[in-house]
Structure 1
Amino acid sequence: MSVIKVGTSSWADRTLVRSGWYPREVNTPAGRLGHYAERFALVEVDTSYYAIPAPETVHGWVDATPDGFTFDVKAFSLFTGHPTPVGTLPADLRPAGGPAQVRRRDLPTEAYDELWHRFRTALTPLVAADRLGAVLLQFPPWLTRGDAARRRIAELASRCRPWRVAVELRHGSWFDGTAALETLAFLREHDLTHCAVDMPQGHPSSVPPIPLATAGLAMIRFHGHSTAWDGGDKEERFRYAYGDEELRRWSEVLVDLADQADELHVLFNNCCAGQAQRDAERMAGLLGVPAARSVPS
């Protein structure tokens, strides 16, 4: 039996809060998360990409959600090679007199290791409550396929073990022709979840959606197909509503994908004024999983 969980890549972004999806009386962070968790069994934590959360914050997430609820947590941006504002680092780990943005090479090894220690410590409450689904390593669009990149992915994954790890690759070289088979084989060899992405095609950062499982957990994120993908602001890039027929076709693909794994996480990232929540609710209905339930494998 394969478990399918459906959710969204945010529960507290500003456009969602302003959209009216939450009842007016649900006006606290804990209340919103609790309301969300009554409707979905899964959510992606995006804020952890921008800063390592405090353990007490994560304890609050656990307290606001029921048993069986799952958090997929995006890794801190510095870990996956993105330029990271120095102000988002803990004050005691910021390099003195350094640049406004830092990368791994800008930090001493001791500081980098300590960041990983604090990230793991922050997630401990989720692990203790059996709420952690996977750590998502979302790599930048400029990480090209190659031996050095594969070594980097494997090293970062080792820092996350024994937790499940999902990998989102965003450069076309990983999926160009026969490279796709090699990429999926690499992920499978290292027991890493291939995070498939439905997104606009034909852009420099585009990768094809390949719904194949490479580990016990399968994952897919739905970005939508905004015409403003290149050049628009974040809201414009993710402003997209999935049509009924589009969702129906994808629901058939997702059932097949679930058959390849023990568990499937379906995340809608077209986060613009509650659209992700509306589309996720419709998809959950098509799959027959308004909450975490099993489907025949």
Structure 2
Amino acid sequence: MIEIGLTGWGDHPDVYAPTSSAKDKLVDYSAHFPVVELDSTFYAIQPERNIRKWIAETPDNFRFIVKAYQGMTGHHRGELPYASVEEMYKQFRLSIQPLQEAGKLAMVLVQFPPWFDCTKENVQEILFICKRLEGFDIAIEFRHQSWYSSDYQEGTLGFLRKWNLIHSVCDEPQAGVGSIPLIPETTRTDKVLFRLHGRNVQGWRNLSGDDQAWRKVRYLYNYVETELQEIQTAVQKLNAETEEVFVVFNNNSGGHAAQNAKRFQKMLDINYESLAPKQLDFFEGEW
């Protein structure tokens, strides 16, 4: 089974009804896609009331890929807003527990930064995180190329298999050691994650030092037909090897993610059932 979705539900105007307000965006989104990557959890551990609201707004079979809080993965700068590391993990677990209880938690995505390279110390850090997230399905995404070097690639995949971790396959710009190659390999028989970041090589690295401006251009990319065909080949390989392939388009900056995802869905001849009812037929336009 192939489940296609997007990162977040707040920046995809193509899927919203004309009369919808901001509070309706998730409802509109869930009329089109069966899964979403919840990235607000990366910036702040969400209060339980938000989680329960999102559970209530989505169909029974809708699922969330929850991105791990930045304080867990080495992205956070400055002092953590928690009394201790243990308290941070406790609050994160409590926050997402309702999703798991509702059967709507697909996995927790633990994405490491580009400077998190393949070392013994960092392998131990992964195990440290996994121990504190025990009981949840965990996907691991690397950004440093060393994990997939000729010396370490088999060891990396073997490590993920040994600890029952989901491999986050990525399509992203090939821009040096801070990006990884497309390696369509599964490490579990039930789930694999495939995230598409676009191929904006110039925008991938922050050469200006301006984080805000950089984030606007990093994921500015529109996949063309031939590129989607390459992705299709990789996804079909993964689909033959595991029960569920979660495909998430993250090229949001220019509004291309929804269009690309809809086009990809059409290429695969996928029609999702039991989604929230679409409000207007014109949502089924040419993608």
1:292 and 1:47 map into 2 onto residues whose CA distance is 27
- 2-side partners of 1:125 and 1:144: how far apart? 33
Match of 1:225 in 2: 199
2:6 aligned with 1:8, yes or no? yes
Question: Paired residue for 1:39?
Answer: 32
Aligned to 2:112, which of 125, 139, 156? 139
Distance 2:226 2:145 in 1: 27
- Name the CA distance, whole Å, in 1 between partners of 2:230 and 2:172: 15
Match of 1:126 among 75, 96, 99: 99
3-state DSSP class of the match of 1:78?
A: helix
Q: 2:148 aligns with which of 175, 181, 193?
A: 175
Confirm whether residue 159 of structure 1 aligns to residue 164 of structure 2. no
Note if contact 2:145-2:176 (Cα within 8 Å) is conserved in structure 1. Answer: no
Local SS of the residue matching 2:192: strand
Partner residue, 2:232: 251
Q: Say yes or no: does 1:184 pair with 2:157.
A: yes
Match of 2:66, SS state, is: strand
Shift of 1:235: 1.7
Q: Deviations over 1:61-108 (max 9, x none)?
A: 10110011110000000101122455x83xxx3xxxxxxxxxxxxxx6
For the residues of structure 2 that align with 1:85 and 1:26, how far apart are their CA atoms? Answer: 38
Question: Equivalent residue of 2:108, what SS?
Answer: strand
Are 1:77 and 2:70 matched, yes or no?
yes
Cα offset for 1:255? 1.1
Q: Secondary structure at the match of 2:168?
A: strand
Q: Quick one: which amino acid aligns to residue 265 of structure 1?
A: F
Which residue type is aligned with residue 198 of structure 1? D
Q: Does the 8 Å contact 2:15/2:29 carry over to 1?
A: no
Inter-partner Cα distance in structure 1 for 2:8 and 2:247: 13
Deviation at 1:204, TM superposition (A): 3.4
Matched residue SS, 2:70 = coil
Distance across 1 between alignment mates of 2:270 and 2:77 = 37
CA distance in 1, matches of 2:48, 2:58: 16
Task: Specify whether residues 290 and 157 from structure 1 end up closer, same or farther in structure 2 by C-alpha distance, changes over 3 A only.
Answer: farther
Preserved CA contact (<8 Å) 2:15 2:32: no
Tell me, yes or no, if the aligned pair for 2:171 and 2:197 is still in contact at 8 Å. yes
Query: Cα distance, 1:279 vs. partner?
Result: 0.7
Q: Is the 8 A contact 1:34 1:64 kept in 2?
A: yes
Counterpart amino acid of residue 10 in structure 1: G
The CA deviation string for residues 184-229 of structure 1, in whole angstroms up to 9 with x for no partner, is 0010111101101111113331110101000121111001111322
Q: Which runs of 5+ in 1 are unaligned?
A: 94-107
What's the secondary structure of 1:259's corresponding residue? helix
* Identity of matched residues, %: 31
TM-score (norm 2): 0.88
Q: Distance in 2 between matches of 1:290 and 1:282?
A: 12
Secondary structure of the equivalent of 1:234? helix
Distance 1:52 1:220, change over 3 A: same
Alpha-carbon distance in structure 1 between the residues aligned to 2:99 and 2:19: 27
Please point out which of 106, 114, 126 is paired with 2:87. 114
TM superposition shift of 1:37 = 0.6
Aligned counterpart, 2:53: 60
Q: Is the 8 A contact 2:14 2:258 kept in 1?
A: no
CA 1:214–1:20: 2 relative to 1, 3 Å: closer
Which structure has the higher relative contact order (CA within 8 Å, separation 6+)? 1
Partners of 1:286 and 1:53 lie apart in 2 by 36
- CA-to-aligned-CA distance 1:250-293 (integer Å, 9 cap, x gap): 11220111111121110000012421111111112222324279
Please report the TM-score for the alignment, with normalisation by the length of structure 1. 0.85
Asked if the contact 1:59–1:125 (Cα under 8 Å) also holds between the matched residues in 2, the reply is yes
Q: Is the 8 A contact 1:40 1:290 kept in 2?
A: no
Identify the residue that residue 101 of structure 1 maps to in structure 2. none
AA aligned opposite 1:206: S
Gaps of 5+ in 2: 208-212, 275-287
Query: Which amino acid in the other structure matches residue 21 of structure 2?
Result: N
Aligned pair count?
266
Shift of 1:32: 0.7
